[in-house]
Chains A and B, each alone.
Chain A
Amino acid sequence: MSRKIQITGISAEDLVYNKRPVKKNAVVAFGMAGNNWKHLMRTSVDETGGDYPVWEDKLETEFSSGKELPTVMYVEVSCRSSGEDKRVGTARVPVKDFTGEYAPEGFLHCLSYRLWDEYGKRNGIVNFSVRIVPTKSDLKSGLRPFWLR
């Protein structure tokens, strides 16, 4: 049985690259641990945001529960310049933060995580929202719960 996840990369704050605030062209990518990096989902590039990029891009993916669930999702913010992506910071998100332990499934989790650069230092914050799309059988119970937005 596969479930759909909707992820929206919202924004990031205080990004620093090479000791200077990032000027432009930041992009964020989401990937499940265990998968190859080819399966990363990327947002579009924010050309003007500087060190406070805003994307508001909705991404969707499926993962099948049943087989070993990934326990961690990686969120990586990079800066695209002269053709290549330079990694600015990465966050490690435990999947159980949005799979129903703290809130019912279908709830829109608005989450923020600390980004760490490759030297292990703090490098800003990334904001995104995640939602596990409830399956048709969940919706059969009639009224759609109000708060689950």
Chain B
Amino acid sequence: MGNCLNGDMKGGKQAIGGVQQRPTSTTAVANNAALNDAVDFFFRSRGQYPLFSQIELTLSASNLIDCDITSKSDPMAVMYLRKKDGKLEEIGRTEVILNSLNPSWIEKITVSFQFEVVQTLVFHVYDVDTRFHNVPVKTLKLKDQDFLGEATCVLSEIMTRPNRTVTLSLTGNNTAGVNRNLGTLSVLAEETIASKTVAEINFRCVNLDNKDLFSKSDPFLRISRIVESNAAVPICRTEVVDNNLNPIWRPVCLTMQQFGSKDTPLVIECFDFNTSGNHELIGRTEKSVAELERLCRQKEAANFVYPSLSHGRNKVLKGQLIVDRFVEKVQYSFLDYISSGFELNFMVAVDFTASNGDPRTPSSLHYIDPSGRSNSYQQAIMEVGEVIQFYDSDKRFPAWGFGGRTSNGIVSHAFNLNGASYGDEVVGVEGIMAAYASALRNVALAGPTLFSHVVDKAANIASQSLSQNSPKYYVLLIITDGVLTDMAGTVDALVRASDLPLSVLIVGVGNTDFKQMEMLDADNGRRLESSTGRIATRDIVQFVPMKDIHSGQVSVVQALLEELPGQFLSYVRSRNINPLGAPAI
């Protein structure tokens, strides 16, 4: 129920889950890979966006080859995920359709779409032998069936198409001579509808019981969902209102993913906040979302009950729960925007300061190993770039270096990585790698470490794109080894850019103390403040140190790109921008 250590009183009283994230909100987002199911569920249901979306894939095929003699093939499709070591992990199967070379399967295969990972899907189509009909599909042994063809694609490729469909050619598994035309497989992806509806509810209470001795209660609400096993899973908690028996809380925003369905019973408990962490229960009530809507419409109130200790009747209290406002709306997800045509554009900035070490020595972070092993910089570029590439339509990336002395002898904090004077763009992740390697030969490492120039450049590009008709969101990746020299200047640049469609991802390589970077990340809720008194409109920075990642189970990519969909959504939602072609809310 929140960490109620004596130190973090303010944090302990904040609302958790179900809070509408305005761009100006200070509630921190905790996106850590969870350790157990209960914690995972609790943190996963933030009102902003799910960490991953459940996608349903519908498959159909056409022009399959005929394997049976007297009738047509009886096809079934199996879907696998290709893991990092190349092995295939089965995700699901469709049903068997009898006697058809153009099947449209009804059974959908569900997969969780993780934005930050490249998910390679492999489909195998089989002809199921007659003796195996009327047997549950799951028990079929695939090696006993006739193989009809294989197709591969990447999940993000499907999600970025406008109609979310991709048609793949089936190929043979064994490379034997002639490549027969094995037909095609179509894959349609849909996000499960449940994740879009959102209910915004304003709660208020009157006549609560006083649980404190010398002052009044400090009430807050906790809303839980009852699951099949009759256990209650908490989905959100309001903030604490001090010293008030008739509290009014800020609106609570619950997604359908959190409350299940409008008729699922929810338990609403009202507690008195205690700094020790032992919050005293004032009362509870059970209402579904549909009942809460009715309470609001008919302007009724629900009485709290206090569960009795003996097995007698629960005590009905004077305290009542009132719903002042109930609004149901549709919240589009990150995928909705991307597949409707929103482009993500990627920019790179590489640290060329002397603190990296002379590139010729093997201990330098910029050392190019002749045996081909990537250094930290190359690794970071490859991993993040691989995923972002799918979303960048033209695959042309501006690439800069900072802190280096270029051939004209001047130290620049935003020089073109490709060394060209005509432009800063490179093509593809390979282009970035090539420009990086050539820059290492032509640029001398210097210093100091400043981000403000590259952030300003990125902000400039983002603001110029505003006048165009196609919506673009920019992502600046800064790979750095060290401590910032000019923290104030960097903060000023970030605050200036916080209102623009831009995110800044900072990867820290090496072993320095990255405390400054963590301040920029603002995950603790302290918004960045510039020297002119302006405060960052939203948190646009995400920082990840490589050394933490290499020791743990989370990859750089997963840590870095977790916040990106949320930052993107905070931009579009605060301006009421809908996916292209979507009806206005």
Contact = CB atoms under 8 A, between A and B. Distances in A.
Contacts of A113: 533-535
A112 B24 contact: yes
Contacts of A13: 24, 26
B458 to A, nearest CB: 12
A107 interface: yes
Interface of A: 10-11, 13, 48, 52, 91-94, 97, 102-104, 107-114, 116, 125, 127, 143, 145-149
| Complex A-B, nearest 6 residue pairs according to Cβ-Cβ distance, in ascending order | A112-B535, A127-B24, A147-B466, A114-B533, A103-B463, A104-B467
Contacts of A107: 463, 466
B535 A102 contact: no
B499 A94 contact: no
29 contacts: A13-B26, A48-B248, A91-B533, A102-B463, A102-B496, A102-B500, A103-B463, A103-B499, A104-B463, A104-B466, A110-B537, A110-B575, A112-B527, A112-B535, A113-B534, A113-B535, A114-B535, A125-B24, A127-B22, A145-B467, A145-B469, A146-B468, A146-B469, A146-B470, A146-B580, A147-B466, A147-B467, A147-B468, A147-B471
Contacts of A103: 463, 466, 499-500
Interface in B476-532: 496, 499-501, 527, 529, 532
Contacts of B82: none
Interface in B277-315: none
A11 B26 CA distance: 13
A72 B396 CA distance: 40
Given A113-B533, A125-B535, A145 B466 contact: yes
A93 B535 CA distance: 11
B465 interface: yes
B533 A110 contact: no
Interface in B38-97: none
B23 interface: yes
Contacts of A10: 22, 24
B536 interface: yes
B557 interface: no
Given A10-B24, A147-B501, A148-B467, 4 more contacts: A104-B467, A112-B536, A125-B535, A145-B469
A146 B26 CA distance: 28
Contacts of A112: 24, 527, 534-537
B23 A110 contact: yes
Interface residues of B, number: 33
A125 B501 CA distance: 22
B576 interface: yes
B463 to A, nearest CB: 5
B216 interface: no
Contacts of A94: 532
Question: Which of A13, A97, A147 counts the most chain B CB atoms within 10 A?
Answer: A147
Q: Which of B472, B536, B574 has the largest count of A CB atoms less than 10 A from its CB?
A: B574
Nearest to B466: A147
Interface string B413-433: 000000000000000000000
B453 interface: no
B347 interface: no
A114 B24 CA distance: 12
B193 interface: no
**Chain A CB within 10 Å, residue with most, of B22, B466, B469, B527:** B466
B526 to A, nearest CB: 11
B475 to A, nearest CB: 16
Contacts of A145: 466-469
Contacts of B580: 146
A66 to B, nearest CB: 24
Interface string B356-384: 00000000000000000000000000000
Nearest to A115: B533
B459 interface: yes
Nearest to B324: A48
B133 to A, nearest CB: 53
Contacts of B529: 114
Given A52-B250, A146-B470, A102 B532 contact: no
Interface string B188-213: 00000000000000000000000000
Interface string B164-186: 00000000000000000000000
A125 B250 CA distance: 17
B577 interface: yes
